[in-house]
Amino acid sequence: MKTNDMERAAPDLRTVSTAALAYLGDAVLEIAVRRRLLECGYASSKSLNAHARDFVSAPAQSRAVERLLPHLTEEERDLFRRGRNIGHTNTPKHATVTEYRLATGLETLFGALYLEKKEDRIAALFALAYPAENTKGED
């Protein structure tokens, strides 16, 4: 990747598809979860993968949304609603339609914040959504 590619201005979020924002946000959340687990002392890949599911499943993400919503700005709420309202044709077997929609809204929000280069806000919202005291430590 060229240096110029990394220095591009953030795209206009109105022109980025909601599905693309959710796709990116899924990766942003995955990195935040992996970092949290490493910081908590998990070391084996088996343990890391098992505990990551406690964060990234649709039911877990929908619970995180409940903790997060009161702390969002109006612009962030709009981004969340945009993702939540995307038309879903497939829902995972382990989640309800509502849980899946809330999870997609969360992913959309985190994807948009990443494109806007708001790393501090991502970290703050992740901490609110997933309080550290809920993460056990060590294998």
**Confidence check: pLDDT of 15 > 50:** yes
CA distance 1 to 68: 35
Q: What share of the chain is helix, strand, coil (3-state, %, to 5)?
A: 70, 0, 30
Q: Which pLDDT belongs to residue 139? A: 45
* Closest of 102, 108, 101, 94 to residue 22, by C-alpha: 108
SS3 26: helix
Quick: pLDDT tens for 55-66: 988 999 999 999
Q: Mark whether 26 is an active-site residue.
A: yes
pLDDT-derived band at 130 (thresholds 50, 70, 90) equals: very high
Mean pLDDT of 90-114: 89
pLDDT grade for 50, boundaries at 50, 70 and 90: confident
Is 106 within 8 Å of 129 (Cβ atoms)?
A: yes
Residues 6+ apart with CB under 8 A from 134: none
* Residue ranges of domains in the chain, CATH in brackets: 17-134 (1.10.1520.10)
Q: How far, in Å, are 25, 46, 110, 124 from residue 21 at the CA level?
A: 6, 29, 8, 19
CB 122 within 8 A of CB 57: no
Q: Name the active-site residue from 5, 12, 26, 54.
A: 26
* pTM confidence score: 0.85
Mean pLDDT of 8-17: 83
